[in-house]
A and B are shown apart, each in its own frame.
Chain A
Amino acid sequence: MSGNQNHCTNILVVGIGGQGVMTATEILAEAAIALGHDAKKTEVAGMAQRGGVVSSHLRFGQRVLSPQITPGTADVLLGFESAEAMRWQHMLKPGGITLMNTAKLVPPVVELGLFDYPEDPLAEIRKSGNKVVAFDATWIALDLGDIRLGNTVMLGAIADHLPFGAETLLDCVLKRFQRKGEKLVELNRRAFEAGRAAVGQAEAALA
């Protein structure tokens, strides 16, 4: 007598406490709401402020009931860090896509020699058969002059993998910076477009 989650779009945004995962998911939720969708956003964050694992769930559609994405049903996985993108692969539906930053953040338990950081998370994900697009969001942000643009680069990266146009998401991103001046708005617009382009190019290379 099982139902299904087919009527909702499920976006999973993952990373580490302090990376801005929750803010990025909230902006995605705002875009969905702006288009008239019902939306719910939830975290499995724990004490994530202290560098722990963060996975933020966004579900939107005509009506969202359970806020959690069931394992095996995520449409898109947006990974802010390589190993974290790998950690949550089981959440993707068959045919789902991973968009991941190639940056690696190594935790103290690995530095202490208690665990190994995977040699090549991207290869591990590919090996599991899931579709994945990788890009260096950190480098893109630095190239634009500020590492803090990384979040906007990540949102640009997912822009063409949503059931709505990139413009709505871009508007929601830029709205956040309006009060901070035109220069920052422009910089974020460029970061967004750079993220979008990076994914577009990587996909073209895969095709």
Chain B
Amino acid sequence: MAAVMPVPAASRVLLSGNEAVARAVWEAGVKVAAAYPGTPSTEMLEVISSYPDLYAEWSVNEKVSLEVAIGAAYAGSRAFCCMKHVGMNVASDALMTLTLTGVIGGLVIAIADDVGLSSSQNEQDSRYWGRFAHVPVLEPADSQEAYAMTLDAYALSEQFQVPVILRMTTRINHVKSLVTVGERSVHVGAGFKKEPGRFVMVPGNAGKRIPLMFKRDGELRAVAETSELNFIEEGADKRVGFIASGPAYMHVKESFPNAPVLKLGFSWPVPFGKCRELAAMVDQVVIVEEVEPLVETELKAQGLNVVGKEILPLQGELSPNVLKPVIARLLGEPIPERIAPAPLQIFPRPPTMCVACPHLGVYYTLSQVRNLNISGDIGCYTLGAGHPWNALDTCISMGASMGVAHGMDKGRGEADKDKRIVAVIGDSTFLHMGMQGLLDMVYNKGNVTVLLLDNRAVGMTGGQNNPGNGYGIHGEEAPRVDFARLVSALGVKDERIHTVNPYELPVLFKTIRDEVKVPDVSVIITDQPCVLVKDYHKLKPFEVIDDKCTGCGNCIDVGCPAIHVTRRGKEVKASGREVDLAFVRIETSVCTGCGLCVQPCAPKAIVHHVPTSPIQLVTTGGCAA
């Protein structure tokens, strides 16, 4: 993002949790901020990059982003790093030793847990990292707290020379609420001071740091006990007292306005004293935490009589409609009458690939080749698992398509004897964590056909720049990786590397069909950009000549959302077999003329659209209301 003028101090503005953290990072005088995009964390770094006076980068993966932040913090500067929950898994190797060295300049790691799986492959509770790595965890409950706790986190980080985790969830990252912002303070780092006993973690040095880490745990627990981020709100109805953190706190307050509540903002180390204080005030304590029973388990280990996941779900958000019936049941009250009727039955509307997306050509082709096991990866192209293609068989973690494909080849079972193994991966995912898998496959003489879909963007998260597209975070020119040369350098034979245009279906089909037969590692690079990035150029739209359409439905199998059925019918073939017919039209107002649907159309019923009047171009609807 280009630099913008920050809103003045004391302004009250509507900000998402991500925007609030970004503002606080700027106000805290952070010098270096690094991240890899991932829903729901992406906007934090996007917005940070629009502020002046700091360095921001899209790193190639989360581990590198944390390491960049560590280097800056070792140099005494304030540093920031953010990621989605699964990103922390990637970065964790660095974190687990960072906790021994600690930091000089403040370092805050904001982790966005996708509670409710709006756009993720799993649901994780990142508060575990606080326990695992012995670092404090702060949990905001709205944007104002996200802002304020980021500032608190820097003070805490420098006071104890420890990295601090800011644990957010989708319902914090993406909710907009009012925030009163403040002044920026300048923070100048002292510079890196060589101290091998602290910064060179070989066994002899690391062993001496471990007792210091445990000592720090105790000190942090004492701070949590007196921290203003942990507070008890009294209430008249003392039958149940709640301990809650993050968005769950808001849901508790909404649902039970008269109940005493201990709000945990500084949730690790758990302030046991405060918890006992609440327990003494009420008949029974219920822990409301998203997602895992972490506070609950610790309090039970302390001998406190508390209730949590015995009655509350271990998955998803704990919103008022979840909480109210559970607590009513606990109290033996009548379950609140369902005021909401059951939802009306209606078709699902799963996300689709965009009109003219270059991946359409790839998945259409893969759906036409028989005998494939297709190992997939993470990005827009994961949608290839859906209709109409059904051409992606696995998805597990960033870059996993490589190793999983290689393992599927080496571990072939009886039924796989004649199967060809294909791996599908996007450009940014390949650079994130896929390269190593390919290297492994080549070195170990694998037999996989890799489709490297280079669409020059991190598409799913909004088209961020990356080393594959030649632009930096501010849209400036940057070195662009040459994928063909890169995979060649990793050891893929030059005759097994093909760069193809995914809109040229016959070429793509032939290349895939030929390469899957070769018992070697092949890489097929598709080279057309995402339709949402500036490198994409629209062409003249197409339309269907109704008289010529035979209703075969071949074009529908491409999966482009611009193709709509006008009427359906049935036809009895000479063999006596009855087939369904679907006659189509193309939504010309959104068609970009990619020509994919033209190619499988046998009667040549799809031709360039000739507008008869300007209004006709748009009357058929389109995406806008």
Contact = CB atoms under 8 A, between A and B. Distances in A.
B625 A137 contact: yes
Count chain B CB atoms within 10 A of each CB in A39, A47, A114 and give the residue with the most.
A47
B344 A124 contact: yes
A70 B352 contact: no
Contact of A52 (B240, B350, B563, B621): B350
A50 B354 contact: yes
Interface stretch (B50-58, B249-257, B449-457): B249-257
B178 interface: yes
B462 interface: yes
Interface in B573-616: 580, 582, 584, 589, 615
Contacts of B623: 16, 18-19, 105
A20 B259 CA distance: 39
Contact of B625 (A15, A66, A118): A15
A70 B348 contact: no
Contacts of A86: 344, 346
B506 interface: no
B342 A90 contact: yes
A41 B259 CA distance: 26
B336 to A, nearest CB: 6
A42 B175 contact: yes
Contacts of A17: 351
A106 B253 CA distance: 40
A41 B256 contact: no
Interface in B301-330: 317, 319-321, 324, 327-328
A113 B118 contact: no
Contact of B340 (A49, A64, A90): A90
B301 to A, nearest CB: 28
Interface in A97-146: 101, 103-118, 124-125, 128, 137-138, 141-142
Contacts of B565: 106, 110-111, 113
A106 B564 contact: yes
Contact of A40 (B177, B240, B336, B380): B177
Contact of B319 (A47, A68, A138, A150): A68
B203 interface: no
Bin chain B's interface residue count: 35 or more
A2 B251 CA distance: 11
A45 B250 contact: no
A107 B625 contact: no
B340 A71 contact: yes
A70 B387 contact: no
Interface in A140-159: 141-142, 147-148, 150-151, 153-154
Contacts of A87: 343-344, 346
A153 B251 CA distance: 34
Contacts of B563: 108, 111
Nearest to B114: A46
Interface stretch (A25-33, A161-169, A179-187, A196-204): A25-33
B352 A153 contact: no
A16 B349 contact: yes
A93 B338 CA distance: 11
B621 A40 contact: no
Count chain B CB atoms within 10 A of each CB in A72, A90, A107, A111 and give the residue with the most.
A111
Contact of B14 (A29, A49, A103, A104): A29
B585 to A, nearest CB: 11
B446 interface: no
B624 A147 contact: yes
Contact of A1 (B256, B354, B387, B624): B256
A124 B343 CA distance: 12
Contacts of A115: 347-348
A178 interface: no
Contacts of B338: 72
Contacts of A3: 254-258
A108 B255 contact: no
Interface in A2-23: 2-3, 5, 15-20
A1 B380 CA distance: 45
B472 interface: no
Nearest to B622: A147
Nearest to A92: B340
A107 B339 CA distance: 31
Nearest to A136: B625
Given A40-B175, A105-B623, A112 B387 contact: yes
B351 A48 contact: yes
A53 interface: yes
Nearest to A129: B341
A66 B352 contact: no
A103 to B, nearest CB: 6
Nearest to A64: B177
Contacts of B237: 1
B460 A47 contact: yes
A60 B149 CA distance: 24
A42 B39 CA distance: 15
Contact of A51 (B175, B257, B328, B349): B349
Contacts of A101: 625
A112 B328 CA distance: 45
Nearest to A145: B615
Interface string B115-144: 000110000000000000000000000100
Given A30-B14, A39-B178, A111-B564, A2 B256 contact: yes
Contacts of B341: 72, 89-90, 128
B176 interface: yes
Given A67-B177, A72-B339, A150-B624, 15 more contacts: A39-B177, A41-B14, A42-B176, A50-B352, A51-B349, A65-B254, A66-B253, A73-B339, A87-B344, A108-B563, A109-B348, A111-B582, A118-B346, A141-B624, A147-B589
Sorted nearest first, the 6 A-B pairs with minimum C-beta distance are A72-B340, A150-B625, A50-B351, A115-B347, A71-B340, A66-B254
15 contacts: A17-B351, A29-B14, A41-B175, A46-B118, A47-B119, A49-B351, A50-B354, A50-B383, A66-B250, A66-B319, A68-B171, A73-B340, A108-B563, A125-B344, A153-B625
